[in-house]
Chain A
């Protein structure tokens, strides 16, 4: 169709007026794209300093615990001080560690809970909390020792109500930025349904931020009951305690999950 010796039907050359218009449009578009790019970059919310040591292996030794969430109890501080950090264990991709632990337990013929183990994986950490991704699956277990009974530092807080956002531990503590909020909602659903432990980023009455592991009244998994409420402001009731370096909320599901929805002024529930 370009057999015509003219440009868009007018003449052999672009008429000066058209050239002028095209130039003006281009100039305006340049301003828009340049200034817009810079401005939008500046307007982004802050990204966390969370780290995911993707592709980088770390070996950790500690005592494996499966409740309230699979974790490795690692001694911290001076020797004999009996202070432990719980490094949560998760699987590769959007999966928790439970499947891997089961595979290893079946292979070995005994339960892993309470045993001293050495595992290899990729670390994730943020705000003093750490997770280990068992990237190699059951091959992540390098050594499995005898059961050890370890005391846990425990503080009971009793019945309480906490409000905040339900997140999946893996994305929030390292893999994704932002690993919370509306844009991340479906990913959090995917991760939680894959068995990654649910955590509430809770704002306490005194304004402090705490990360709270969420389990049922008897320490059982309740992920299915929470999926509908992730990534939005909610309140939960239950019994709270501090277990080593993590808070745990034994959620009272009879009281239900309270939707706060305050930060979503645009919400018009249509068929809820």
Chain B
């Protein structure tokens, strides 16, 4: 929602977020490297760096993947989501150090280009236990790179939110690749069940949070098949003031807001990163996205000037105290007169 782009817009919250993130990583590195060096000083520096950075990256990826569903289950977690981008970029950065050190250690100074060696040294692509697991790590690193490189709003704007969102869904592929990277890699050599146990816990946590979010995210959402002109959604009392009711009618994802004695309906999908507008709030007369605070005017779905984002609007009807919506969207930014709520219902 900017008219121009800066590399990173810093504010107090982002700085605090980054401080906590740095502290968390420091804590891990201190515990892991400190104990390893104290107990096994025979370890080589390369192995220590490789293990410490790879594990940090995978841990951070778990946090990144947990935040989304947590916020859908309980919006009070939203402050964690606000600066998730820094978490993602940090994940990539640690994965990069790990990958580069591995390429240097295992593939450089040989008779083949290191990147060629990565794919051709071990060619047991048909075996599970002998599978060239490093290739899986490389694939994940490429995805993390693309995501980190396009994480800025500049790219979001240029790719369009749909392509951008699709690209960022690849994070799940990266996650799957990394789980296999560890299972077919170190897990084949290390005998302790601790690492596998941790990974198993991580996978179970990520999957169950997503399942829970899919379940709880539908809570209070109205669903109907498309077809009729106007669809009855809910009663006036079902919507809190300055809040919305989300309804899914056919393929239309609609948020119906109640504010200042009026009703207005817009698309539930934020133009920024497809955040759920219906979980947002009316602030200063604008629908405000819960994810990063983009704003839209309820009556026409347009961001207040100088911003240019627009979402679709929908026709509403009030019969008694029942709210009806017409699921056929108006073109983005079309003004639709809000429905006045008669005094007796307020």
Contact = CB atoms under 8 A, between A and B. Distances in A.
A206 B81 CA distance: 60
Given A4-B283, A267-B127, A267-B130, A93 B189 contact: no
Contact of B186 (A29, A183, A232): A183
B112 A49 contact: no
A94 interface: yes
Contacts of A194: 110-111
Nearest to A18: B76
Contacts of B198: 36, 39-40
A6 B78 CA distance: 13
Interface string B102-131: 000111111110000110011000111110
Interface residues of A, number: 68
A34 B130 contact: no
B76 A21 contact: yes
Contacts of B272: 1
Given A18-B78, A47-B42, A269-B126, A41 B31 contact: yes
Given A7-B82, A8-B79, A37-B28, A49 B20 contact: no
A190 B112 contact: yes
Contact of B80 (A22, A46, A181): A22
B212 to A, nearest CB: 15
B28 to A, nearest CB: 4
Nearest to B82: A8
Nearest to B2: A1
Interface in A254-271: 261, 264, 266-271
Nearest to A50: B42
Interface in A18-35: 18-22, 25-26, 29-30, 32-35
Interface string A172-212: 00001110011111110111011000000000000000000
A19 B117 CA distance: 49
A9 B79 contact: no
Interface string A40-84: 111111111110000000000000000000000000000000000
Contacts of A42: 35, 39, 194
B166 interface: no
A1 B290 CA distance: 13
A194 B284 CA distance: 70
Given A33-B31, A43-B194, A178-B189, A187 B107 contact: yes
A181 B283 contact: no
A45 to B, nearest CB: 5
A185 B34 CA distance: 28
Contact of B188 (A25, A92, A182): A182
Contacts of B203: none
A8 B129 contact: no
Contacts of A14: 79
B122 A185 contact: yes
A37 B31 contact: yes
A10 interface: yes
A107 interface: no
A233 B100 CA distance: 29
Nearest to A1: B1
Contact of B32 (A21, A38, A187, A193): A38
A93 B35 contact: no
A46 B78 CA distance: 43
Interface string B154-197: 00000000000000000000000000000111101111101100
Nearest to B38: A41
A191 B105 CA distance: 11
Interface of B: 1-2, 9, 11, 13, 20, 23-25, 27-36, 39-40, 42-44, 46-47, 51, 55, 59, 63, 70, 74, 76-82, 105-112, 117-118, 121-122, 126-130, 132-134, 153, 183-186, 188-192, 194-195, 198, 272, 280-281, 283, 288-295
- The 10 tightest CB contacts between A and B, nearest first, are A93-B109, A37-B31, A186-B121, A43-B194, A264-B129, A271-B126, A267-B129, A181-B189, A94-B110, A37-B32
Interface of A: 1-2, 4, 6-10, 14-15, 17-22, 25-26, 29-30, 32-50, 92-95, 176-178, 181-187, 189-191, 193-194, 232, 261, 264, 266-272
11 contacts: A7-B82, A9-B289, A9-B293, A94-B111, A190-B121, A232-B129, A264-B129, A266-B129, A267-B127, A268-B128, A269-B126
